[in-house]
Structure 1
Amino acid sequence: MSLTDKLLTEKYNVAAPRYTSYPTMPYWDTEAFTTNAWAASVQASFTHSNSTDGISLYVHLPFCESLCTYCGCNTRITKNHGVEQPYIKAVLKEWQMYRDMMGDTPVIRELHLGGGTPTFFSPENLKQLIEGLLDGAIVHLRAEFSFEAHPGNTTAEHLKALYAVGFRRLSLGIQDFDPKVQFIINRHQTLEQVREVTMEARRMGYTSINYDLIYGLPLQTADGLISTMQMVSELMPDRIAFYSYAHVPWIKASQRRFTEADLPDADAKQKLYGIGRSLLKNYGYIEVGMDHFALPHDSLLQAAESGQLHRNFMGYTHQHTQLMIGLGVSSISDSWYGFAQNVKQLEEYHRLIEQGELPVFKGHILTRDDLVLRKHILNIMCTGTTTWNHHTEPCEALVFGIERLQALEDDDLIELNFLGLTVTEKGKRFLRNICMALDARLWADKPTTPLFSMAV
């Protein structure tokens, strides 16, 4: 007998990875990782894919003028804008190290600025950074450039400067408009500020605007979320990321500003999710992958419908590149054959760059089994379906994973057969749990301390 939604939520609300990579970071084999092995994987990926797919660049700009207490990102809080120029020079020097490693002209397919607060930087400095990254490179004909922005400090000059160097998509971090919630998470912006940035971007010709919204925040209520959604519906961004608050105070001490008593319990959190999801669908948004919604004209939805949706450390994207280079402090790179993360401390990052050393401090080179499982986990996260062939890709870890999937079929979360699986409508809420069944490294070494946020 199938379980009710409430019982399903209780059963599957366990700590689970978000699967922006496989293996997930806590299970990287860092002891076997070397910078030379990483460089070789970058060179192999670049040679194999640059001329056909191009590459992606992610630049982490860590500075913020104030600390948002819910945030799990690597940030440096400062009001000293003198940090901008030295950081830009360091990022461009790091990029040159990769350019030397590649040995040929890179084709830039995607470029994303994340943070921190990218719009902490002045428009002039952002333009200098982008022009430096693109100097001597080829911009792909279907390139997409995007950046994350704070509605409270993004000016028309920011929008104009980035538009001039090719940006057409931006993401505004809103989270919630409820004043009580904004106060406790220390994230302040008004509807008027969001409206002004949105309308100005549209006037300039930006083609896709995303709003980030979070459910499960401290002091968040159903009435408050409904009010937030109504305000959002006045502006109708092209896509919306509506995702669960990840409470990880053992990683981010700033989240200790509030306690678990301030958070909605599991039942209340699921009601918030249901309210938000229902309202978004009423407004005309269509669900894409996990936590994302888009209007019919948006490229993210079109990619999902055509089977082209991709997921990496930047989240969902409508284009796939095999090689993604992360630049800046704490950035993560993906060569498909391996992962590498930069050092997390700003001072150490600058020191290594000044010494001419690649600032990676840990990583993982994927095994054959890793590559097989990664493919299936990525398929599930992006398309809700995957197929396997035990003759062409023999993998004992996959066989054990398929056995674990049986319990999810019993709960009507997937349809499972000898050739593959398809996620059911009921199962869309539990994508992370479905992928967990295939996560051989997690099952081989179950965590005894908190590593991940809750799945539901």
Structure 2
Amino acid sequence: MSLIQKYNVAAPRYTSYPTVPYWNNAGFDIASWQALVQQSFHATNNTEGISIYIHLPYCEKLCTYCGCNKYITVNHGVEEPYISTLLKEWQLYLGLFGKRPRIRELHLGGGTPTFFTPENLHQLVTGIFKGADVLKDASLSFEGHPNNTTEAHMQTLYDLGFRRMSLGIQDFDIRVQEIINRIQPYETVARVMQEARAIGYTSINFDLVYGLPLQTAASVKDTINQVMQLQPDRISFYSYAHVPWVKGVGQRRYSEADLPKDEEKRALYDLGKTMFAENNYTEIGMDHFALKDDPLYNAFTNGTLHRNFMGYTDHHTSLMIGLGASSIGDSWYAYAQNEKEINAWQRLVNNGQFPVVRGHILSREDLLLRRHIHALMCTFETTWNKADTQCDAIIEGLQRLQEPEKDGLVIVHPKKVTVTMKGRPFIRNICMAFDARLWQQLPQSQLFSNAI
């Protein structure tokens, strides 16, 4: 059996620990969430500042590969009520803080943030900034769909301090674009890039996906060659997560017979990784690549890379406030997720209530394991020299790493685990060894996408 076949099992992506399916919702309440937000805010606002993630869920068309929480509509009358509710939710947190927050990072995600008009995005961002201080080195970013990201969108956000944007490319092959219902010609993406560079954006990310239906080595190679002509500063090269049992009708438009399997899928990643390296992109953590003048590369090399529900970032903040339907917040000591259904979320906020409907308060063991999994995901190693970094779950994790160590994926030292270059493609499997909550209650059905 090959390593690909051996380790291609369902595994979390570890944007958090514990992962969402293993949250102890019964032990969570909103009052505790509020208290832990206040604790984190008052401990770190003056040093780290805070991060804000704003979920903008609307899209005009359904992309069949997508696993995000989204709402499909062509009715743009939904924009203003949604933004009004977002700003009311922000006021609830401002009241909780009791003093002006210092914004270190703000990200507009979706859905499709550029579904909203430039004017409405301006209203949203200025409303967030009112009552807050934006740090000089703050990272302000947004996700854009090339088909509806206009020069006016980019100029409006640039004038507000945004310097980073992420474009969802996925694949340039027309056959793949048609089956995933996301047709966007190269010329459209090139136009957006040209306008963004002319405006002054300094960090542009492309999202690419490998393992999509009908993809081949030739089509992926052609896509990456076209990407190289545009020279984004960062590239996120994600494994397609086929979870039709979760995402329903969209991912049932095609069958598993249309998807590259195991070694074939891994070969697509290896092809991309090789091509990125040939074009001076460095592998950053899991699934990410960056040029050496990008802040993400600097954070990786100096050991300050951070990972949260927004993915990899070059700023560490303990407190992340999630605004909007389905958005997740993180106080470091607790997680909380908002109501997913838009109308229900709006009703809660408009009644003056925090729209949180589930969450998890981290135990001492959770906090220790979170640090170790975070270190593995960001630096490919973790240590436990001090007593306050040790727990019984680490011993159990080391036992589970015996087989990966035999396979050359990790090196286990007395007080340290290092992921080898051979092991980096299997980082999800390696982190899973330390996932005490998963091993305490192994899933009876598939919760996660496969690791490869």
Normalised to the residue count of structure 2, the TM-score between the two structures is 0.99
Partner residue, 2:216: 221
Task: Kindly provide the amino acid, as one letter, of the partner of residue 217 in structure 2.
Answer: A
Aligned residue pairs, count: 451
Q: CA RMSD in A?
A: 0.9
Partner residue, 1:46: 41
How far residue 392 of structure 1 moved from its aligned partner, in angstroms, is 3.6
Are the equivalent residues in 1 in contact too, given 2:236–2:288 (CA < 8 A)? yes
Partner residue, 1:447: 443
- Secondary structure of 2:12's aligned partner: coil
Partner residue, 2:170: 175
Where does 1:178-217 land on structure 2 (aligned, <5 Å)? 178-217=173-212
Q: Deviations over 1:43-88 (max 9, x none)?
A: 0000110010000000000000000000000111011111000000
Partner residue, 1:243: 238
2-structure distance, mates of 1:256, 1:51: 48
How far residue 395 of structure 1 moved from its aligned partner, in angstroms, is 1.1
How far residue 212 of structure 1 moved from its aligned partner, in angstroms, is 0.3
- Secondary structure of 2:172's aligned partner: coil
1-structure distance, mates of 2:306, 2:263: 31
Query: Which of residues 150, 160, 180 is equivalent to 1:165?
Result: 160
Normalised to the residue count of structure 1, the TM-score between the two structures is 0.98
1:59 counterpart = 2:54: yes
> Which deviates more, 264-273 or 141-150?
264-273
1:25 counterpart = 2:20: yes
Where does 1:406-425 land on structure 2 (aligned, <5 Å)? 406-425=402-421
1-structure distance, mates of 2:292, 2:185: 27
Q: Deviations over 1:180-228 (max 9, x none)?
A: 0000000111111111111111111111000000000001111111110
How far residue 256 of structure 1 moved from its aligned partner, in angstroms, is 0.6
Task: Kindly provide the amino acid, as one letter, of the partner of residue 225 in structure 2.
Answer: Q
Task: Kindly provide the amino acid, as one letter, of the partner of residue 417 in structure 1.
Answer: H
- Runs (4+) of structure 1 exceeding 2 A deviation are 389-394
- Secondary structure of 2:246's aligned partner: coil
2-structure distance, mates of 1:76, 1:398: 41
Are the equivalent residues in 1 in contact too, given 2:384–2:390 (CA < 8 A)? no
Partner residue, 2:331: 335
2-structure distance, mates of 1:348, 1:389: 47
How far residue 366 of structure 1 moved from its aligned partner, in angstroms, is 0.2
1-structure distance, mates of 2:395, 2:43: 30
2-structure distance, mates of 1:143, 1:227: 36
Runs of 5+ in structure 2 lacking a partner? none
2-structure distance, mates of 1:291, 1:413: 17
2-structure distance, mates of 1:336, 1:382: 16
How far residue 390 of structure 1 moved from its aligned partner, in angstroms, is 5.9
Partner residue, 1:376: 372
The sequence identity of aligned pairs, in percent, is: 58
Partner residue, 1:316: 312
Partner residue, 1:3: none
- Secondary structure of 1:84's aligned partner: helix
1-structure distance, mates of 2:8, 2:236: 20
Query: Which of residues 254, 270, 275 is equivalent to 2:271?
Result: 275
Runs of 5+ in structure 1 lacking a partner? 1-5
1-structure distance, mates of 2:240, 2:303: 28
